[in-house]
Structures are given as C-alpha cells and as structure tokens.
C-alpha cells in the first residue's frame, strides 16, 4: 500500500514541471511569476482580484490559524503529549528567540502577538511554497477532466506581499515610537550623538536609513524566496532548454539539493529573521539607545 | 552583409553583454557575501569553543548575522535583474 502511494506520488511529481515546460516548447522561468486573474474583483481603481498569489496567501492564513489552534489551543494541559510539546517549542522560539531579543520588557505584552503571528504566518506561506499544490495557471487533462498542474509557488516570492508585511512593521514602529516618546522626543532619538556641524550630513542619512529599512526588510524575504524557486526551476528547465534527457542525471540531484536547502534552512531562517527584525525595530523605537 | 543581418547581430551581442554583466555582478556579489558568511560561522565556532555554555544565546545572533549578510547577494540579484529588464 505504501509502495503504491509512493509510486503515485512520483508519477504526479514527474507530471508537474516537465508537462508545464514541454507544453510551452520553450522554457522561461519568469512566466511562473506572471499572475493571471482568477476571480476579477475591481472596486474603482482598486484591483482586488484573486490570483495565484492571493490564493496561496489565503491558504497560508488558513493553515497558520489551524497550526495555532491545533498545537496551542485544543486539549492542552491533560498530559504533555508530542503535539503539546511541539506547540510549546514554537511558542518558546517566538518568545525567547524573537520577542525577548528585540522588545523591551514593558512592550512584550503588547507586541508579542504581532511578532509571533508574523513568524508563524511567514513560515507557513514559505513552506506552502515548497509543497507541490494544484494551484497554477497551467492545465492538464487527467481522464478527460481539466485540472491545474501541481506546481510550487510561494506568495512571499512576489514583492507586493512582502512589501505589505514590511509596511505594517514600519508603520507600527513609528506609531509606537511616537506613542512612547512623543513626536519631538521620537524624531530627536533618530539623531545620533555627533557634533552639530555634522547635522546636515547625518540627518538626511538617518531619514534615508528609515526608508532603507522598509526596502531591506521586504526585499530580503522576496529575493530569498524568488531565488530559491528560480534555482530549482532553472535546473529542471535546463533539461528542456538543451533538449537532452541525460542532463537529468545532473540537473535533478542539483535541484533536489537546492530544494532541501531551501526547505530545511532558508524557509525557517527567513521567517525568524523577519519576525526578529520587526521586534528589534519596534523595540528600538520604544526605547531609543540615546 | 545586409543591414538587417547586422542589426540582428548587434541585438544578439547586446543580449550576450547583458548575460555577462548579470553573471559578473552576481558572481562578485556572492564573493563578498561568501567571505562575510564564512566570517560569521568562523567566529561562532571560536566563540563556542571558548565558552560552550553560551551556544544558545549566540545562536540567535549568528542566524541574524547570517541572514543580514546573505541578503546582500539578493540586493545584487534584484539590481541585476532590474538592469537586465530595463536596459
């Protein structure tokens, strides 16, 4: 039974990428990031259409809610089972590694939920990006029924998603900074201890630095996920670009190695980094060093 | 050689130039990040060898440093891709 399911899985996996690439005749990895409208929703100038990235985001939100409820809410405290231990481990990482690294003690109560949610949500969306799911624009016929091919795509590999997440952190940083230190006190805390003559040089740099945070926070996550998917796609795609089956001997192990590297290390590290940096930014706005 | 062939050749060269520029940019960008990441893990090994009991506390900082350094490559990649698409 297990062998049969493994066979079916391999067959399905083999169907996904080659099918998509062969159908086109030529292979362009960038086409994976073209978003087509599935359910067009236009409100005035706003484009709220549901496309591939939105579907992945909704799924990610659902799965991260389920993770939170299953591991940390349902039947907790009876006897420490494996499920509860895992839930506690997630919570502990969020508390000791993320929140306590950046947030001052008085702000943990208010901002712990935000950074912990960021961590779980980004991890889930990243992880969903490496599980082949039937959510793609390509269609394949199986037994006369058109179904979407299995494909890997992460919502976090589109800049709009990561920019929205980064904007949220950025707004909260300034709101909390002003709330804790007052408008004048907060903006004064941007300026480091330097002689007054240096001010014309330092102040524009510091203001620019605040905007650079926004860019670095969003581009880091975006580019990491984009490059990971691009590498895997390109290695598999080499077989079809050069039209040589024997390349698979090199390309498939290389793609598998990159896949494992992404799943084991990058997915978790990026989720952790995004949450930890959010905590550090918010914490440093509440309690400036000088 | 006819004019259209010349134009085609020039277009081909532009693509080749773009490819070389992108590859060189990514390569040099990775060089810096490689050195940086090596430094971070080297220092981590030294620190843990000297004070093994600090491993837990250092690990968070280590991964933070790793991700911050690694991201530099991707700024290069995005810059390169932007240049590739725009020019």
pLDDT in the model for residue A21: 44
Residue of B58, B67, B69 to mutate, testing the A interface (most A Cβ within 10 Å of its Cβ): B67
Beta bridge partners of residue A147, listed in sequence order: A140
Spans in chain A with pLDDT lower than 50: 1, 20-24
CB pair distance less than 8 Å for B64 and A220: no
Record: contact B64-A273, CB cut-off 8 A: yes
Nearest-Cα distance to chain B for A271, in Å, is 11
pLDDT at A8: 55
**What pLDDT is attached to residue B81?**
77
What is the C-alpha to C-alpha distance for residues A74 and A70, in angstroms, rounded to an integer?
A: 6
Tens-place pLDDT, residues B53-87:
988 888 888 888 888 888 888 888 777 777 777 76
Domain-wise residue ranges, chain B: 22-86
Can you name the residues that pair with A73 across neighbouring β-strands?
A: none
Confidence of residue B14 (pLDDT cuts 50, 70, 90): confident
pTM of the model: 0.81
CA distance B82 to chain A (A): 12
Range of the domain at A57: 2-286
Q: Which residues from chain B sit within 8 angstroms of residue A270, using beta carbons? A: 67
CA distance A132 to chain B (A): 25
User: Has residue B9 got a pLDDT over 60?
Assistant: yes
Of A97, A227, A273, the CB nearest to B74: A227
Structure confidence by residue, pLDDT tens digits, B34-46: 999 999 999 999 9
What string of DSSP letters covers A91-157? HHIIIIIIIHHHS-HHHHHHHHHHHHHHHHHHHHHHHHTTS-BS-SS-EEEETTEEEEPPB---GGG
Half-sphere exposure of B42 (CA within 13 A, CB side): 6
- Residue A167: its pLDDT value, please? 95
ipTM of the complex: 0.70
B47 contact A CB<8A: no
Count of domains observed in chain A: 1
| Domain with residues B22-86, CATH architecture | Up-down Bundle (1.20)
pLDDT of residue A193: 80
pLDDT confidence of residue A27: 67
């Amino acid at each position: 039974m297990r062998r049969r399911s493994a066979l079916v899985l391999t067959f399905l996996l083999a169907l996904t990428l080659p099918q998509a690439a062969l159908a086109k005749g030529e292979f362009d990895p960038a086409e994976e990031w073209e978003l087509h409208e599935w359910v067009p929703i236009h409100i005035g100038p706003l484009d709220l259409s549901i496309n591939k990235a939105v579907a992945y985001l909704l799924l990610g939100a659902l799965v991260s809610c389920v993770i939170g409820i299953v591991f940390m809410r349902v039947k907790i405290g009876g006897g420490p089972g494996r499920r509860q231990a895992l839930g506690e481990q997630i919570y502990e990482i969020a508390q000791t590694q993320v929140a306590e690294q950046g947030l001052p003690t008085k702000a943990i109560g208010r901002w712990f939920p935000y950074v912990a949610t960021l961590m779980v949500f980004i991890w889930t969306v990243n992880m969903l990006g490496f599980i082949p799911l039937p959510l793609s624009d390509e269609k394949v016929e199986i037994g006369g029924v058109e179904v979407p091919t299995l494909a890997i795509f992460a919502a976090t590999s589109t800049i709009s998603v990561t920019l929205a997440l980064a904007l949220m952190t950025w707004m909260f940083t300034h709101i909390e900074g002003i709330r804790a230190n007052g408008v004048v006190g907060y903006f004064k805390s941007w300026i480091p201890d330097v002689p007054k003559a240096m001010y014309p040089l330092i102040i524009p740099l510091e203001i620019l630095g605040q905007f650079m945070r926004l860019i670095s926070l969003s581009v880091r996550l975006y580019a990491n996920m984009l490059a990971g998917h691009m590498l895997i796609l390109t290695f598999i795609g080499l077989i079809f670009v050069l039209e040589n089956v024997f390349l698979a001997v090199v390309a498939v192990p290389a793609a598998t190695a990159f896949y494992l590297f992404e799943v084991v290390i990058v997915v978790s590290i990026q989720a952790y980094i995004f949450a930890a940096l959010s905590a550090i930014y918010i914490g440093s706005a509440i309690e400036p060093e000088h | 050689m006819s004019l259209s062939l010349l134009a085609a050749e020039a277009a081909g060269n532009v693509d080749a130039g773009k490819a070389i520029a992108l590859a060189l940019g990514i390569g040099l960008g990775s060089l810096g990040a490689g050195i940086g990441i090596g430094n971070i893990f080297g220092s981590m090994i030294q620190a843990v060898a000297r004070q093994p009991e600090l491993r837990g506390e250092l690990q968070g900082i280590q991964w933070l440093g790793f991700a911050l350094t690694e991201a530099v490559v991707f700024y290069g990649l995005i810059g390169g891709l932007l240049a590739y698409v725009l020019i």
